[in-house]
A and B are shown apart, each in its own frame.
Chain A
Amino acid sequence: MTTQKNSFSVALFSVIFGLIIGAVIMLVFGYNPILGYVALLGSAFGSMQDIGSVLTQMTPLILTALGFTVAQTAGFFNIGLSGQALAGWVGSIWYALTFPSMPVYFMIPSAIILGTGLGALAGAIPGWLRAQFGASEVIVTIMMNYILLFLGNNILQNTMSKGIKVSAETTKQVGANASLQMKWLTELTQGSSISSGIFISLIMIVVVWFVMTRTTLGFEIRAVGLNSDAAKYAGMSAKRNAVIAMAISGGLAGLAGTIEGLGNYLNFFTQNGSPSIGFDGMAVALLGSSSYLGILAAAAIFSVLKIGGLGMPMSSGVPFELVDIVTASIIFFVGASYLIKLIQVRIKAMDDKAATNAAAKKELKASQLEDKNQKGGE
Chain B
Amino acid sequence: MSLMAMLSLVISSTLVYSAPLIFTSIGGTFSERAGVVNVGLEGIMGMGAFASIVFNLTFSNTLGSATPWFGLLAGALIGLIFSLLHAVATVTLRADHIISGTVINLMAPALGVFLIKVLYGKGQTVPISHDFGYASIPGLASIPVLGQLFFAKTSGPAWLAIFVAVLSWYIIFKTKFGLRLRSVGENPQAADTLGLNVSRLRYSGVMISGLLGGVGGAVVAQSISLNYSASTIVGQGFMAMAAMIFGRWNPIGALGASLFFGLSQSLAVVGAQLPLLKTVPPIWLQIAPYVLTIIVLVFFFGKTRAPKADGVNYIKAA
Write the residues of chain A forming the contact surface with B, with a CB cutoff of 8 angstroms. Answer: 1-4, 25, 29, 77, 79, 129, 133-136, 138-140, 142-147, 150-151, 154, 158, 272-274, 279, 282-283, 286, 319, 321-322, 324-325, 327-329, 331-332, 334-339
Contact status of A338 and B283, CB under 8 A, knowing A325-B111, A328-B103: no
* Chain A interface helix/strand/loop/mixed: helix
B192 close to A (CB within 8 Å): no
Q: Which residues of B contact A79 (CB under 8 A)?
A: 238
Q: Which residues of B contact A328 (CB under 8 A)?
A: 103, 106-107, 110
- Contact between A150 and B93 (Cβ–Cβ < 8 Å)? no
Write the residues of chain B forming the contact surface with A, with a CB cutoff of 8 angstroms. Answer: 85, 89, 93-100, 102-103, 105-107, 109-111, 113-114, 117-118, 231, 234-235, 238-239, 241-242, 245-246, 283, 286-287, 289-291, 293-294, 297-299, 301-304, 311
CA gap between A334 and B89 in the complex, in Å? 11
Q: Which residue of B lies closest to A133 (CB)?
A: B298
Chain B nearest Cβ from A346, distance in angstroms: 14
- Contact between B102 and A331 (Cβ–Cβ < 8 Å)? yes
Question: Which residue of A151, A286, A321 contacts B99 across the interface (Cβ within 8 Å)?
Answer: A286
Top 7 A-B residue pairs of the complex, sorted by shortest distance between their CB atoms: A324-B110, A335-B99, A134-B303, A336-B93, A335-B95, A328-B107, A328-B106
Question: Which residue of A1, A151, A325, A339 contacts B107 across the interface (Cβ within 8 Å)?
Answer: A325
CA gap between A160 and B97 in the complex, in Å? 42
User: Known pairs A331-B99, A332-B100, A332-B103. 20 more at Cβ < 8 A?
Assistant: A77-B98, A129-B298, A133-B299, A136-B245, A136-B304, A142-B235, A142-B238, A142-B242, A143-B242, A146-B287, A146-B290, A272-B231, A283-B102, A324-B107, A325-B114, A327-B106, A328-B110, A329-B103, A336-B95, A337-B95
Question: Which residue of B105, B117, B283 contacts A321 across the interface (Cβ within 8 Å)?
Answer: B117
Q: Which residues of A contact B291 (CB under 8 A)?
A: 143, 147
Question: Which residue of B89, B105, B231, B294 contacts A273 across the interface (Cβ within 8 Å)?
Answer: B231
CA gap between A282 and B96 in the complex, in Å? 14
CA gap between A47 and B1 in the complex, in Å? 63
- Contact between B114 and A319 (Cβ–Cβ < 8 Å)? yes
Q: Which residues of B contact A133 (CB under 8 A)?
A: 298-299, 302-303
- Contact between A135 and B231 (Cβ–Cβ < 8 Å)? no
CA gap between A332 and B98 in the complex, in Å? 11
Q: Which residues of A contact B110 (CB under 8 A)?
A: 321-322, 324-325, 328
